[in-house]
A and B are shown apart, each in its own frame.
Chain A
Amino acid sequence: MSSQRKSIQIYPLNRVEGDLKIRLEIHDGVVTDAWSAGTMYRGFENILKGRGALDGLVITPRICGICSTAHLKAAAKALDMISRVKVPEDAMRIRNATLMVEMLQNDIRQSCLLFMSDFSRVVYQHHSLYAEAIQRYTALTGTVFRQALHWTKKILEIVAILGGQWPHSSFMVPGGVVSLPSSNEIMQCRYLLNSFRTWYETEFLGCSLERWAEIKSLDHLETWLTEKPTHTHKEMGFFIRFAKEARLDEIGRGHGHFLSFGGLDLPADTAVRPLAGGNTLIPAGFMAHGQACAPFSQAEISEDITHAWFNSQPTAHPYEGATHPYATGSESEKYSWAKAPRYAGHPAETGPLAELMIAGNPLFTDLVGPKGPTVFSRQLARLLRPAVLMPALEQWLKEIRPQEKHFFKQYERLETGEGHGLIQAPRGALGHWVKIQDSKIAQYQIITPSTWHASPRDKAGIRGPWEQALIGTAMGHPEDTVKVDHVLRSFDPCLVCTVHTVQL
């Protein structure tokens, strides 16, 4: 039997934020190589240069319509650092609460509107749960699609109460937040969260957060799945059963390197305990495949442009990086508008699974094991992250003391200096690196989570996370790209972030 080689291109991949093009080399129906390309450049960093010191607070949320609060927080943190202001504790709580709400929204929308929607594709017509998948996830009519739309919209009202609107507000500033929520407004936020939690527990998880927290291994998960009808039949159980039959635990492995910048700063006086030590709820760290987690240092980050359409120095730390777009088309080794970020020279994946791995979560440590992550473990982490965040979010809302009105501290200086704001955004590690000179922005560099994931090859030829994760994916029919779509979507791709912001 002669072997068959074929090269195909996937564009446009729908239900991702922004435009993504993937080229695949297929050998006997199996992906043997992949190239990931962002197809749009928006030049945000060059737009920011020369603008007022605070202008990143208005411009950078506009990078992304689904994670604008995350960009706002990274921008505000960079300015906190430059102005050396100490943010009041209640301002930290409001910043955390609003970002966490955005994460809840993102995790549910990504799961129910974007990822699981693929289960309703006709390619799954022989799957035993196909009819049910159609009923649940069909765009606009599916029962779960409608529920997810409703509850994500409701929970976002918290951001509007505390920050004016979602998306695209600018309520975080160096020194805290501008808003002065009243006791009643904080109560409204708590009521909204309570309703959302009730929905998540009864309709999504099928059990209480406390019951779920008892699951510490794959065996526990199996036991839980058949313990009660709600465990089996609500969203979490349905996802697990569908994924198992579709063998999503066998595809999308990738490099298996995990990165977290650390997220959600803990106020000094709080009952919220970090997931794994440190001064953030979500710990920072880098975990190379199969190794122990190493402490995180932002100095280890660099970006490589060997294969990206830019023509500045080949590798640079974000404080030194430049973005000179250089469109050579397909004639050279360059093929993407996304640069190649590296941590200590390694590509890395980030997001909910990376956070839980670095936090040492026993279930995910067991699931990932020595073989590395898969579509299943990555997506399960996203379905589950609301359960991890909600108790801390409830506590922080409870701890805010509106009567003291201590939400902002006037900063002294913002004329000159450099600072970075590194956080965990809904999709993972997000960094803003800012230099201010004479009260103007002299340099602004942004690396988004999807820039890490969409990375093209670097100068050593090492593939980016998506490219690597696609290798070995079995395609049924060449036009049946559903498995490839699952692999990509398990990273929650957001191309508006990636390609819109490539360096200046």
Chain B
Amino acid sequence: MTVRLYWIQCGGCGGDTWSLFNAETPDVIELLNLLNIELLWHPSISNKSIRAQEQTIEGLLSGEEKLDILCVEGSIIRGPGGTGMYDEAYGAPKKNLVASLAKQARHVLAVGTCASFGGIGADGEIEATGMQFHKWSRGGFLGEDFRSKSGRPVINLPGCPCHCDILAGTLAALVTGQEMELTGHNTPLEWYGMMVHQGCTRNEYHEFRVEEKQFGEKGCMFFHLGCHGPLATGPCNKRLWNRRSSKTRVGVPCFGCTRPDFPQQYSFFETRNIEGIPIELPDGVSRAHYLAYKGMAAAAAPERLKTRKTEI
């Protein structure tokens, strides 16, 4: 049986789509074929006439045509003043169309941080929000109690953009009926059950607290340059990007783009700290113990790290 998938873009940049195009083994074409997914509509790929596209929507909304998976990319724009007219479709706010499609769908995926939590614009005049979360709070656009026809809440796949392997893996799990445990933010545990920091090639510098104070050094960026690697979940350093690298490996701090508060209200590229110790410590860490541990670790740092001889 074909699995019918509809992709709608709202307040977004299209980056999650282009990220999906990075996928390999299977690439996006093989993925759709292997999972027997019929793409009813994707704004960057489909070649349907306007009339045919309207008929697709009519069929889905009336329930005559089944909708297995709804992928939402981009935030739900509610401004100005709750009208949603900063983002219109067919002369009406696009958010109305999203809500109607979500009611018909067996599974709803929020692809990327904007669709998951509001993302860019969640604090702005466009009154953006996520499908079922507004930043850290449950609720968002559809409300805490929303369940798709499968009985699940909206499955959040945050990341700016969402890593192609996460979307590909989630689609495979849904189509083949695999178990998929979700975290408290309704993200699949398999990919969001680890910190971005895990697998970073600068980890030894982190371990012994050999710090990068200006750009372009070998060192850990957590203590001065605002790296969120130990503070954000995601497989960036396990799955890598474009099969090659990651931001933290090349020296770009992690900005915590999978977090519900991305983009954070404080400045990027600097670590908020009290007397040199970051205000925000890795998830679940005891502050006093961490202080002692990092002091000892710095004292134990080998010469090769202190002189930045170790490659990253």
Q: Please determine whether B125 and A43 come into contact, CB atoms closer than 8 angstroms.
A: yes
Q: Give min CB distance, B224 to chain A, whole Å.
A: 13
**Neighbouring A residues of B236 by C-beta, 8 Å:** 165
Identify which of B87, B242, B245, B255 contacts A41 (C-beta below 8 A).
B87
Q: Please determine whether B15 and A68 come into contact, CB atoms closer than 8 angstroms.
A: yes
**Neighbouring B residues of A164 by C-beta, 8 Å:** 241, 245-252
Question: Once bound together, how far apart are the Cα atoms of A83 and B19, in whole Å?
Answer: 33
Question: Once bound together, how far apart are the Cα atoms of A59 and B125, in whole Å?
Answer: 16
**Neighbouring A residues of B83 by C-beta, 8 Å:** 327
Cβ-based interface call for A161 (8 A): yes
Q: Please determine whether A55 and B267 come into contact, CB atoms closer than 8 angstroms.
A: yes
Of the listed residues B18, B125, B236, B269, the one surrounded by the most CB atoms of chain A closer than 10 A to its CB is B18
* A46 and B13 in contact, given A40-B86, A54-B268, A149-B21 (Cβ under 8 angstroms): no
1/0 per position for A133-159, CB-CB distance to B under 8 A? Answer: 000001111000010011011001101
Q: Give min CB distance, A110 to chain B, whole Å.
A: 11
1/0 per position for B7-42, CB-CB distance to A under 8 A? Answer: 001011111111101101001110010000001000
The interface-forming segment of A7-15, A275-283, A346-354 is: A7-15
CB-CB nearest in chain A for B29:
A140
Interface residues of A in 400-439 (CB under 8 A from B): 405, 407-408, 410
Cβ-based interface call for A254 (8 A): no
Report the count of interface residues on B (CB-CB < 8 A): 73
Q: Give min CB distance, A352 to chain B, whole Å.
A: 20
Cβ-based interface call for A86 (8 A): no
Question: Once bound together, how far apart are the Cα atoms of A51 and B264, in whole Å?
Answer: 10
Identify which of B125, B240, B248, B311 contacts A325 (C-beta below 8 A).
B125
* A165 and B14 in contact, given A140-B45, A153-B21, A410-B214 (Cβ under 8 angstroms): no
Q: Please determine whether A15 and B46 come into contact, CB atoms closer than 8 angstroms.
A: yes
Cβ-based interface call for A232 (8 A): no
Question: Once bound together, how far apart are the Cα atoms of A168 and B32, in whole Å?
Answer: 25
Question: Once bound together, how far apart are the Cα atoms of A408 and B225, in whole Å?
Answer: 15
Q: Please determine whether A163 and B250 come into contact, CB atoms closer than 8 angstroms.
A: yes
Q: Please determine whether A178 and B216 come into contact, CB atoms closer than 8 angstroms.
A: yes
Q: Give min CB distance, B6 to chain A, whole Å.
A: 13
The interface-forming segment of A116-124, A364-372, A374-382, A459-467 is: A116-124
Q: Please determine whether B44 and A17 come into contact, CB atoms closer than 8 angstroms.
A: yes
Q: Please determine whether A167 and B161 come into contact, CB atoms closer than 8 angstroms.
A: yes
The interface-forming segment of A169-177, A197-205, A289-297, A314-322 is: A169-177
Q: Please determine whether B120 and A59 come into contact, CB atoms closer than 8 angstroms.
A: yes
Question: Once bound together, how far apart are the Cα atoms of A65 and B250, in whole Å?
Answer: 21
1/0 per position for A1-44, CB-CB distance to B under 8 A? Answer: 00000000011101111110000000000000000000111111
Q: Please determine whether A15 and B120 come into contact, CB atoms closer than 8 angstroms.
A: no
Question: Once bound together, how far apart are the Cα atoms of A10 and B15, in whole Å?
Answer: 25
**Neighbouring A residues of B267 by C-beta, 8 Å:** 51-55
The interface-forming segment of B47-55, B177-185, B286-294 is: B47-55
Cβ-based interface call for B121 (8 A): yes
Q: Please determine whether B89 and A19 come into contact, CB atoms closer than 8 angstroms.
A: yes
Q: Please determine whether B13 and A64 come into contact, CB atoms closer than 8 angstroms.
A: yes
Q: Give min CB distance, B76 to chain A, whole Å.
A: 12
**Neighbouring B residues of A393 by C-beta, 8 Å:** none
Question: Once bound together, how far apart are the Cα atoms of A42 and B16, in whole Å?
Answer: 17
Q: Give min CB distance, A64 to chain B, whole Å.
A: 5
1/0 per position for B256-277, CB-CB distance to A under 8 A? Answer: 0100000100111110000000
Q: Give min CB distance, A492 to chain B, whole Å.
A: 13
Question: Once bound together, how far apart are the Cα atoms of A448 and B245, in whole Å?
Answer: 29
Q: Please determine whether B15 and A167 come into contact, CB atoms closer than 8 angstroms.
A: yes
* A121 and B215 in contact, given A58-B255, A166-B22, A327-B86 (Cβ under 8 angstroms): no
Cβ-based interface call for B80 (8 A): yes
Cβ-based interface call for A193 (8 A): no
Q: Please determine whether A47 and B124 come into contact, CB atoms closer than 8 angstroms.
A: yes
Q: Please determine whether A168 and B244 come into contact, CB atoms closer than 8 angstroms.
A: no
Size band of the interface chain A makes with B: 35 or more
**Neighbouring A residues of B251 by C-beta, 8 Å:** 164, 171, 178-180
**Neighbouring B residues of A169 by C-beta, 8 Å:** 247, 250, 252
Identify which of B19, B77, B268 contacts A58 (C-beta below 8 A).
B268
CB-CB nearest in chain A for B246:
A164
Q: Give min CB distance, A131 to chain B, whole Å.
A: 16
Cβ-based interface call for B190 (8 A): no
Q: Please determine whether B268 and A40 come into contact, CB atoms closer than 8 angstroms.
A: no
**Neighbouring B residues of A41 by C-beta, 8 Å:** 77, 86-87, 126
Q: Please determine whether A62 and B15 come into contact, CB atoms closer than 8 angstroms.
A: yes
**Neighbouring A residues of B242 by C-beta, 8 Å:** 153, 156-157, 159-160, 165-166
Identify which of B12, B27, B160 contacts A149 (C-beta below 8 A).
B27
Q: Give min CB distance, A92 to chain B, whole Å.
A: 14
Q: Give min CB distance, B51 to chain A, whole Å.
A: 7
Identify which of B22, B124, B268 contacts A156 (C-beta below 8 A).
B22
Cβ-based interface call for B174 (8 A): no
**Neighbouring B residues of A141 by C-beta, 8 Å:** 29
Cβ-based interface call for B123 (8 A): yes
Q: Please determine whether B86 and A157 come into contact, CB atoms closer than 8 angstroms.
A: no
Cβ-based interface call for A500 (8 A): yes
Cβ-based interface call for B204 (8 A): no
Q: Please determine whether A170 and B22 come into contact, CB atoms closer than 8 angstroms.
A: no
Cβ-based interface call for A479 (8 A): yes
**Neighbouring A residues of B17 by C-beta, 8 Å:** 65
Cβ-based interface call for B43 (8 A): yes
Q: Please determine whether A47 and B215 come into contact, CB atoms closer than 8 angstroms.
A: no
**Neighbouring B residues of A55 by C-beta, 8 Å:** 263, 267-269
Cβ-based interface call for A57 (8 A): yes
Q: Please determine whether B46 and A46 come into contact, CB atoms closer than 8 angstroms.
A: no
Can you report 24 residue pairs joining A to B where beta carbons are below 8 Å apart? A14-B53, A19-B9, A40-B77, A41-B87, A43-B126, A44-B120, A52-B270, A54-B269, A55-B269, A57-B269, A62-B160, A65-B13, A113-B44, A153-B24, A162-B250, A164-B245, A168-B161, A173-B215, A178-B216, A178-B251, A325-B80, A408-B214, A410-B214, A479-B50
**A residues with CB within 8 A of B:** 10-12, 14-19, 39-44, 46-47, 51-55, 57-59, 62-66, 68, 113-114, 117-118, 120-121, 138-141, 146, 149-150, 152-153, 156-157, 159-171, 173, 175-182, 325, 327, 329, 337, 405, 407-408, 410, 479, 481, 496, 500
Closest 4 CB pairs of A and B: A52-B267, A65-B15, A165-B241, A408-B216
What 19 new A-B contacts, CB under 8 Å, besides A47-B263, A337-B86? Answer: A12-B50, A15-B46, A19-B87, A42-B121, A47-B120, A52-B267, A58-B255, A121-B47, A149-B29, A153-B21, A157-B243, A161-B244, A164-B245, A164-B251, A167-B19, A169-B252, A179-B250, A327-B80, A500-B11
